[in-house]
Amino acid sequence: MFFKKKRSKKQKDKEKNKEMKIITVSVDEVRKAINNYTSTLQEGISLRCIIKENNEIDFELLYAHLGGMPDKSFYMSKETFEVFEDQSYAKYIDLCQIACDQYLLETGMEPITPGDPYRKINYLKLQNYLTEKPPFDLYLHPEDQMVTPRALKDS
């Protein structure tokens, strides 16, 4: 009798990667693939299942919806589900969204400077809630209190 040598996990991963088609995609194409994937999820399964611990998107789950594996990494906020090419945006939006939610629950007020038409988040108000201050400005959406990197003019 002949026995086959058991393949290691590394060998299996290498073979799997050889078979996968590598493609160049934009953030918008990734968003569309995520929306398509979301429509196939069973009730009770969160979109967070495609987000790795470091906020990187797991494209093995999106492969069929995207038509291949992206040639670069994309990142997603676990709190707001926004997609970014820069990991730091997803990381800081998650930290800030949690801090904003806690601040709003405890004080009943939004952590923005009163009268600011762009609704920029005031990091001084969140100093007791943030573990580290984001190195860029973030804004609070007026309708759903979601943190975003885009300035929104308050209507």
pLDDT more than 70, % of the chain: 87
In 4-148, at which residue ranges do the beta strands (DSSP E only) sit? 22-23, 69-70, 75-76, 83-84, 139-140, 147-148
pLDDT at 84 over 80: yes
- The residues with which 76 forms a beta bridge, in sequence order, are 83
12-21, 71-80, 98-107, range with the lowest pLDDT: 12-21
In 37-120, at which residue ranges do the beta strands (DSSP E only) sit? 69-70, 75-76, 83-84
Domain range list for the chain? 10-76, 88-148
| Confidence at residue 15, expressed as pLDDT on a 0 to 100 scale | 53
| Confidence at residue 20, expressed as pLDDT on a 0 to 100 scale | 81
- For the stretch 34-79, pLDDT in tens is 999 999 988 888 999 999 999 999 999 999 999 999 999 999 999 9
